[in-house]
Amino acid sequence: MKPGGTYIDATLGGGGHAREMLERSSPGGRVIGIDRDPQALEAAGAALAGYGDRLSLCLGNFRDIASIVGGCGLRSVDGALFDLGMSSAQIDRPERGFSFQAQGPLDMRMGPDGAPAGELVNRSSEEELAGIIRNFGQERQARRIARAITRARQIGPISTTSGLRQAILATRPAMPQKTLARVFQALRIAVNDEMGSLENGLAAARDALNPGGRLVVISYHSLEDSMVKQFLRTNRNPCTCPPKLSSCVCGAKPSLRMITGKAVRPGENETDDNPRARSASLRAAEKI
């Protein structure tokens, strides 16, 4: 990071990354902090109040980086960071409905917009639920679990995390905790359109970068990491020519240069300090 540079923290959360960016870009550096969660934005703003107008707080989805950057009076930035994990503040609040380990409403929304998970669970067909659980949770027993959910809601709407938990456990999964985690993850991803937002957000961040600007993404499950990996690979080598051709004729130019080869994983000391970082994968690239 360079003094006086402008950077995006696309997932502001508790503000830890933004604080580090502000320190490393001092003097004069600026950070645009984006979050879908008004509570997170308010808390981070209070924690980082000492940085004054060097920090711009933006309530929104990182898929809209282009309009957010423009709204801050900027045309481009020097770097963008995506930390895609759920914040501890969200997970640890039962009223948000993200955790299967606590009783709460079946909500799961990152922000105030959109329909809560309860509507998805109670209105989707068995086939739709099975597709969500299979595609976003990578759960082999998706059909069986979807059937159990549709049966349970015939008795009454499933409106709480404990109600959904009971419906899932009725299938007697071999690894209950992993199955619960996969189903809750799948519903959260669907409720917040996380994969669609990530696809659009990565492209918007790339377009917003100055030459030499860096894109850094930290993901926490294989679906996210696969999308990030494919995005970086395509932008590093966008050629669409048939392999049999001896040279490129399509004219596609690479837009990113890889900084990391394989994904960077947390060390033992990091996971000891923060067990929730165990599954983290970091990938980084530079704008050409």
pLDDT: is 113 or 22 the higher one? 22
| Residue extents of the structural domains in the chain | 6-88+194-287, 91-192
Residue pair 212/145 in contact (Cβ under 8 Å)? The answer is no
Residue pair 129/152 in contact (Cβ under 8 Å)? The answer is no
Q: Give the integer Cα–Cα distance in Å for 219 and 67.
A: 24
Q: Does domain 6-88+194-287 have CATH number 3.40.50.150?
A: yes
In terms of DSSP bridges, do strands 30-35 and 6-9 run parallel, antiparallel, or are they unpaired?
Answer: parallel
Query: Same CATH fold, 91-192 and 6-88+194-287?
Result: no
* Exposed/middle/buried for residue 28 (C-beta within 10 Å: 0-12, 13-18, 19+): exposed
For 57-105, the pLDDT digits (tens) are 999 999 999 999 999 999 999 999 999 988 888 888 999 999 999 999 9
CATH topology of domain 91-192: DNA polymerase; domain 1 (1.10.150)
Peptide linkage before 27 cis (omega within 30 of 0): yes
* 248 token code pair: 């490129």
This prediction's pTM: 0.91
Q: Give the integer Cα–Cα distance in Å for 198 and 29.
A: 26
Q: Put the strands of the sheet holding 77-83 in their side by side order.
A: 55-59, 30-35, 6-9, 77-83, 209-219, 281-287, 256-258
pLDDT: is 90 or 128 the higher one? 128
